Amino acid sequence: MEAVSSPVIQDVAILTRENPGTISLGQGVVHYRPPQQALDAIVEFGHTVGDNHYQAVTGIPELLSGLTRKLAAENDIDVSETQSLVVTAGSNMAFFHTLLAICDPGDEVVIMTPFFFNHEMAIRMASCTPVAVATDDDYQPDLEALEAALSDRTRAVVTVSPNNPAGAVYDRETLTAINKLCGERGLYHISDEAYEYFTYGDETHFSPGSLENSEHTISLFSFSKAYGLASWRVGYMVAPAALWKSLSKSQDTILICPPLISQRAALGALQAGPAYCRPMIDAIGEVRLSCLNHLSQLGTSCRVAPTSGAFYLLVEVDTKLGAMELVERLIREHRVAAIPGSSFGIEDRCLIRLSYGALEPQTAVEGMGRLVEGLKRILE
């Protein structure tokens, strides 16, 4: 555990609390509440004895059935006898279960920079080695670099699309090529799709688990983002059936079973469906455009890659300051918070991640105004 990095988002949260009035562009959540169907589903919860007992290790049957229909309709993933569907306490837990199921200590797992810091932390906690592979200038995978990074100890390649922290959306051709490479090399392709609904303009989301050769694909999903259920800790995964026994051992040991109240809320969210999320996501897309307009005032002092997914912007700032030093000054001097890019594995230049989904549109605009004005003064 000493070798595992501390999640910097906690440090930023402490700084934010120490500086009252700070607007946070750091936290990766949405600003809207869950659908009413999710809240209605738990109104009577807990009044029967059964509600308070342990449940099935992989999820209650009615939720598994609803997820099977959702995956077929929205992701083109057919959950058959060759696959296992498991409800988890968020997709982070699904990722950790996966590592315990497929890796031995000392094995390597390929992640792409900028990476999701919890993935890198989990790999180290499992006594494995994260192998970071650089992406291109637009944060898209570099297939040649990816293949060159594979070794005899590699067990999996991780993709996150739409991406946290960069907002990049990987196209079907790229994900298909990565999936094919994993199949040829006898590796697992772990596809984190927590932001599947968050695409803008002409971008669309693609699930590698829909491919015909998906017997080595592990797909991770979450209710935290699109349905505003972050604190409820409920997600799910689709994995090869051969991993079911190992996954269920991990689940039973760490969690015993997914929280029943959260599963009921997830069922309600499925009833609401994407039709509930879409108007709010469209509104977040408008905030995204406003954020980009604000950043354009900085000219060549910053660079923002043209990404169209999730609800993040990864901003490269032309400064000799370290990323955390810049974040600290923005909070203390200008009352606006961001996350340093160094926490996502990029340390050779100064980047900050902005989350534009966590705030009401007007607050986000005010926060961006503070950010731009603060950067102007700091960079003078």
pTM of the model: 0.96
Q: Which residues form the domain of 94?
A: 36-272
The whole-number pLDDT of residue 279 equals 96
The least confident of 100-114, 320-334, 351-365 is 351-365
Domain boundary among 221, 256, 272: 272
pLDDT in tens, 207-231: 999 998 889 999 999 999 999 999 9
Q: Would you say residue 353 lies in a domain? A: yes
For residue 314, give the nearest of 337, 347, 340 by alpha carbon.
Answer: 340
Same-domain status, 183 and 316: no
Q: Would you say residue 87 lies in a domain? A: yes
The whole-number pLDDT of residue 380 equals 84
Domain boundary among 254, 272, 290: 272
Same-domain status, 25 and 86: no
pLDDT in tens, 160-213: 999 999 999 999 999 999 999 999 999 999 999 999 999 999 999 999 999 988
Same-domain status, 324 and 251: no
pLDDT in tens, 142-154: 999 999 999 999 9
Same-domain status, 239 and 315: no
Same-domain status, 192 and 126: yes
Same-domain status, 265 and 311: no
Position 344 pLDDT exceeds 90: yes
The whole-number pLDDT of residue 81 equals 85
The whole-number pLDDT of residue 82 equals 87
Q: Residue 306's domain is classified under what CATH number?
A: 3.90.1150.10
Position 360 pLDDT exceeds 90: no
Same-domain status, 310 and 257: no
Considering the chain, what percentage of its residues have pLDDT values greater than 70? 100
Q: Would you say residue 115 lies in a domain? A: yes
Q: Residue 131's domain is classified under what CATH number?
A: 3.40.640.10
Same-domain status, 19 and 62: no
Q: Would you say residue 82 lies in a domain? A: yes
Same-domain status, 348 and 202: no
The whole-number pLDDT of residue 9 equals 84
Task: Look at the chain and report how many structural domains it folds into.
Answer: 2
pLDDT in tens, 65-97: 999 999 999 999 999 888 999 999 999 999 999
Same-domain status, 147 and 13: no
User: What does the pLDDT average to over 326-353?
Assistant: 96
Same-domain status, 173 and 229: yes
Domain boundary among 272, 305, 340: 272
